[in-house]
Homo-oligomer: A and B are copies of this chain.
Amino acid sequence: MNVATSPASPEELGVLLKGAQSVLHLRMDECLRPLGLSVSQYACLHHLHQAPGITASDLARRAFVSRQAMSVLLQGLERQGLVARAEEQGPRRERAMSLTPRAEAALHDADRAVSEVVGRMVAPLPQSERDTLARLLAACRDALLDG
């Protein structure tokens, strides 16, 4: 069965994408849980680090979750003393979120752990193909972003 696997059929591409993302999510959870972080929490801190002072709604959009889910996520991180919300609210009732110094340190450790996992994932691939993979994924994402 499966006489011709070479030509990637459209549906299989989606299955491959979900498969790779699911396994990565699994392995990330395994290495982040000992650090006291869930994958969602790590993603939240990561996006907040690379775009400081962002709002909760914008953060939710970048993480592809609803505002409500990001809100409860941020409440948990705030209880842990990892994020802080500005007291005064900005132009559109928005309140800027920021990472605490403790979060920067925790994120540093988490980034190392995640890098190790991703490094294991792309271990069999040469650097040129890793760059190709990143370029192709970005192209796929952007092709469906405004639709």
Contacts and interface: CB of A to CB of B under 8 A. Distances in A.
Contacts of A25: 18
Closest 8 CB pairs of A and B: A8-B134, A22-B64, A10-B118, A10-B115, A16-B137, A21-B21, A20-B141, A23-B144
A26 to B, nearest CB: 8
Specify the main secondary structure of chain A where it touches its partner.
helix
Contacts of A50: 2
Contact of A46 (B15, B118, B138, B143): B15
Given A17-B21, A19-B141, A24-B144, 7 more contacts: A10-B114, A10-B122, A12-B134, A16-B134, A19-B64, A120-B143, A132-B132
